[in-house]
Amino acid sequence: MIAPTAFLRQLFDVAVATADPMRVVAQHLPARPKGRLIVIGAGKASARMAEAVEAHYGPCEGLVITRYGYARPCKGIEIVEAAHPVPDAAGVAATARMLALLAGLGPDDLVLALISGGGSALLCAPAFGMSLAEKQAVNAALLACGAPISAMNVARKHLSEVKGGQLAAQAAPAQMLALLISDVPGDDPAFIASGPTVGDDSCGADAMAIMDRYNIPLPKTARAALAQSSGVIPCGDPRLAHAKTHIIAAPAQSLEAAAALARAAGCQVLVLGDALEGEARDLGQAQAQLAKTIAANLGQGAQPVVVLSGGELTVTRRGAGIGGPNAEFCLAAAIELAGAPGIYLLAGDTDGVDGAAEIAGALVDPDLLARAGAARVDPEAALAANDSHSFFAALDAQVITGPTLTNVNDFRAIYIEPPKRGG
């Protein structure tokens, strides 16, 4: 007999474990170069990636920037912690030191770049005279506007001196091997951490159009930067000829690992894809409707059904609550399900952080709204205020992992029981 909520947590845990850098980094590492080996990186998985590199090579020279609380012990590579999702002075200082580390390298040297989601905030070098405070304000507005990650990252590239291939250009003429853990729909390297090692053919006008579309207030320095943006490195630029990029872990692999576990447990599995985007509350409602349809067509004695999906959902800030896309997905789904029997779901971010909260996500079971009523917690009011984390905290229904040290985007699983015999 499957205990549904515990089983959903097992599926989430295997998805996270599949993307552990200690499992996936070593097989992509080349022999040591004739010259120097410099390890750099940024992202929520980057310190764990650095740890895996040193487990293979031994102590290495380098510097990696990760989120506060995500550091790992390394013998040679310096690990610097900085703020995410809004950058801070620690990230700016560490980025400057990283760029200095790349100066003067030759063609026999190898730069190993370890890049994962979160690198957009952690790798921070404001462009064209922008102050850190201005950069922080623009970044916070982008995060709150509901724009997809692809649009946000185009805008970020043109306000940076390190994104959009600029990091790789700084390393020339040394060789660069960039190992990426993908947290973006479609796994396009140009959008993972805003593509610091990958060329980009967008322009400042493209970024300005995104800012205007989402009504992002811009200081004069940012408008000037976008008007004259020429820092982003075009895809065919010869400075990128020395750089190679490999994706070593991606959402699809984690979804497949969860699917395999579900099948082994005797479940039917429906995978909706690893690249879903859109408003979290809208997708939560839609997937709850799908689950009810599946439940209505399950006969007694049928196999349970597990519905899996991944991707990057967004939240348009309407209230002042504490929430994130995974918890908001779950709250909207719970409201739509209205206690429908036999349907359970989990949504969590594989990095352990949903939005800006130190919570991975949430769990929904058929009794959730009844418990909410008894506790006098209003789900509709919580959704209106973007206060999903507070709602699930009051009901002890949060998914809490702490730092997972990886990041392959959001994970969602719905478990649908067949009707009980004699029911």
Q: DSSP letters along 172-207, please?
A: TTSEEEEEEE--STT--TTTGGG-TTS-----HHHH
Residue 394 lies in a domain: yes
Q: pLDDT of 244-280, one tens digit each?
A: 999 999 999 999 999 999 999 999 999 999 999 999 9
Question: Is 185 in the same domain as 289?
Answer: no
Question: Is 330 in the same domain as 206?
Answer: no
Q: Domain holding 77: CATH number?
A: 3.40.50.10180
- Model confidence at 144, in pLDDT bands (50, 70, 90)? confident
Question: Is 53 in the same domain as 148?
Answer: yes
Question: Is 235 in the same domain as 268?
Answer: no
| Final residue of a structural domain among 232, 249, 266 | 249
Give yes or no for a contact between 20 and 181, defined as CB atoms under 8 angstroms apart.
Answer: no
- Can you give the residue range of the structural domain that contains 386? 4-14+252-416
Tokens linked to 115? 């890049």
Residue predicted with more confidence, 279 or 129: 279
Q: pLDDT of 92-127, one tens digit each?
A: 999 999 999 999 999 999 999 999 999 999 999 998
Cα separation, 290 vs 296, whole angstroms: 10
Cα separation, 405 vs 71, whole angstroms: 9
Instruction: Give the 3-state secondary structure of residue 133.
Output: helix
Q: Is the pLDDT of residue 422 over 60?
A: no
Residue predicted with more confidence, 255 or 422: 255
Residue 107 lies in a domain: yes
Residue predicted with more confidence, 197 or 224: 197
Structure confidence at residue 192 (pLDDT): 96
Q: What is the pTM of this model?
A: 0.93
Question: Is 85 in the same domain as 213?
Answer: yes
Question: Is 397 in the same domain as 354?
Answer: yes
Structure confidence at residue 1 (pLDDT): 65
| Final residue of a structural domain among 249, 266, 284 | 249
CA distances from 251 to 96, 247, 323, 354, 408 (A): 31, 11, 22, 16, 5
Residue 259 lies in a domain: yes
Residue 65 lies in a domain: yes
Q: pLDDT of 352-387, one tens digit each?
A: 999 878 999 999 999 999 999 999 999 999 999 999
Residue predicted with more confidence, 87 or 149: 87
Question: Is 187 in the same domain as 329?
Answer: no
Question: Is 236 in the same domain as 89?
Answer: yes
Instruction: Give the 3-state secondary structure of residue 286.
Output: helix
CA dihedral of 25, 26, 31, 33, whole degrees rounded to 10: 40
Question: Is 240 in the same domain as 298?
Answer: no
Give yes or no for a contact between 39 and 61, defined as CB atoms under 8 angstroms apart.
Answer: yes
Structure confidence at residue 238 (pLDDT): 96
- On average, the pLDDT of the chain sits at 95
Q: Is the pLDDT of residue 154 over 80?
A: yes
Q: Domain holding 300: CATH number?
A: 3.40.1480.10
Residue 422 lies in a domain: no
Question: Is 243 in the same domain as 272?
Answer: no
Q: pLDDT of 57-80, one tens digit each?
A: 999 999 999 999 999 999 999 999
Question: Is 196 in the same domain as 279?
Answer: no
Mean pLDDT value across residues 141-157:
90
Tokens linked to 368? 């959730």
Q: What letter represents residue 226's amino acid?
A: L
The H-assigned helical ranges of 242-387 are: 251-264, 280-296, 325-337, 368-374, 379-384
β-strands 243-249, 110-116: how paired?
Answer: unpaired
Q: How many domains does the chain have?
A: 2
β-strands 37-42, 410-416: how paired?
Answer: unpaired
Mean pLDDT value across residues 18-25:
98
Mean pLDDT value across residues 222-247:
90
Residue 421 lies in a domain: no
Residue 232 lies in a domain: yes
Question: Is 192 in the same domain as 278?
Answer: no
Neighbours of 76 (CB within 10 A): 15
| Final residue of a structural domain among 249, 271, 291 | 249
292 torsion bin: left (phi>0), alpha (psi -120 to 50), beta (else): alpha
The helix (run of H) or strand (run of E) holding residue 261 is: helix 251-264
Residue 200 lies in a domain: yes
Question: Could you give the percent of the chain with pLDDT greater than 90?
Answer: 89
CA dihedral of 38, 19, 233, 244, whole degrees rounded to 10: 60
Cα separation, 388 vs 250, whole angstroms: 27
Structure confidence at residue 340 (pLDDT): 97
